[in-house]
Amino acid sequence: MHYDPDIFLRDYWQKKPLLIRNPWDAWRNPLDPDELAGLACEEGVESRLIVREEEGWTLAHGPFAADRFSRLGAQPWTLLVQAVDHHVPDVAALIDPFRFVPNWRIDDVMVSYASDGGGVGPHFDQYDVFLLQGLGKRRWRVGPLCDGSSELLPHDDLRLLARFEATEEWVLEPGDILYVPPGFAHDGVAVGDDCMTYSIGFRAPSRSELIEGWCDHLVDEMQEDDRYSDPDLRVQGNPGEISEAALTRLHAMVTGKLLDRDAFACWFGEYNSAPKYPETDWRPEEPIGRAELADCLEQGMALARNPASRLSFIRRADGLLLFADGRSFACSGETVALAEAICAQAQVRLDPAAGRSPETLDLLAALIDQGSLAFDQED
């Protein structure tokens, strides 16, 4: 893909929208509309159907019956399927050109299919998104920045802007990309049938989410007998006073663990790498044995990262801490380079002639057994 990530990050990232006209060498739509409809019919796949009717917008949640889409009337409609990259490798590959944004910020690829005039209405999001036109055409209008005070239409499920005035407008064709930063109002409407858009979204945890999650974690780790104590208590002039010494001790009880940066780093890595859909079980039917693992590596088989897995790491003085699907793994020595490769590449192939330390085998076996990695059967 041809555009300069450094210039993009400097001039546009979280600053202003940008239209990128087809930067691909040869754009190819990676998913057929019928395949998308099939995913929307499956249990465990998050999907929504939005229909624009005369009286307003209606929203239905999947999974949908196989004949649901053939029964739609003439009203414009849009099908939205979340995390399609978890199920379709070619869709997962769309994320690769955008990995100049760190892995821990990546959310998923939502795919939409719309009939002529279909869309989800004018709205704004709290995250960065690249809107990649896959098939057909869509007219995008972008407006000003919005916030929590922006007036919304009354609707139980959709957050649609009551007032929307576009400041810029473009028609996107296959391969074109529109970047929209957080907070900018935008509205996309299909121009003709068979309109498919790939929304590559990025996460941004809110302050309240971080505080709540970190504090809940700390509380869960605390012992019931970890209580206030004052063995140096002295008689006070007035028993009603909460003394400065008591306040200092109480405050330290709260802030001591709260401000532990190393503990926060470990918690955040596990919290942020937790699976988007934890109820989905990606584990193999049988755990891999060390002998079988070593044999596969000696044959030169490549390891493929599960597209649904979230992997990242934090460097430490003695190596790094690898996070994979809500778990952490301390890495040192040769496992450091291995962890870095797993985070940076969709497929990793180890030197068949190299020796395997017990630490390497243990790390790989753990990642395979929890479904984060698997040997590439198409290799």
One pLDDT digit (tens) per residue for the chain, 379 residues: 677 999 999 999 999 999 999 999 999 999 999 999 999 999 999 999 999 887 778 999 999 998 998 888 788 999 999 999 999 999 999 999 999 999 999 999 999 999 999 999 999 999 999 999 999 999 999 999 999 899 998 888 889 999 999 999 999 999 999 999 999 999 999 999 999 999 999 999 999 999 999 999 999 999 989 999 999 999 999 999 999 999 999 999 999 999 999 999 999 999 999 999 999 999 999 999 888 998 999 899 999 999 999 999 999 999 999 999 999 999 999 999 999 999 999 999 988 877 788 899 999 999 999 999 999 876 5
For residue 333, the surrounding DSSP H or E stretch is none
| Of 7, 35, 34, nearest in space to 20 by CA | 7
Local structure of 85: helix, strand or coil: helix
pLDDT at residue number 165? 94
Helix %, strand %, coil % for the chain, to 5?
Answer: 30, 25, 45
For residue 351, the model assigns a pLDDT of 85
Cα angle for residues 365, 315, 200 (degrees, 5° grid): 75
- With b for 16 or more beta-carbon neighbours within 10 A and e for fewer, the 117-136 pattern comes to bbbbbbbbbeebbbbbbbbb
- Which H or E run includes 330? strand 327-331
The span from the CA of 103 to the CA of 107, in Å, is 9
What is the reported pTM?
0.92
49 three-state secondary structure: strand
Q: What angle is formed at CA 305 by the lines to CA 299 and CA 310, rounded to 5 degrees?
A: 155
Question: Which residues are paired to 312 by β-bridges?
Answer: 323
Neighbours of 369 (CB within 10 A): 15
Cα torsion 92, 96, 100, 105 to 10°: value is: 10
Residue written as token pair 């000696």: 298
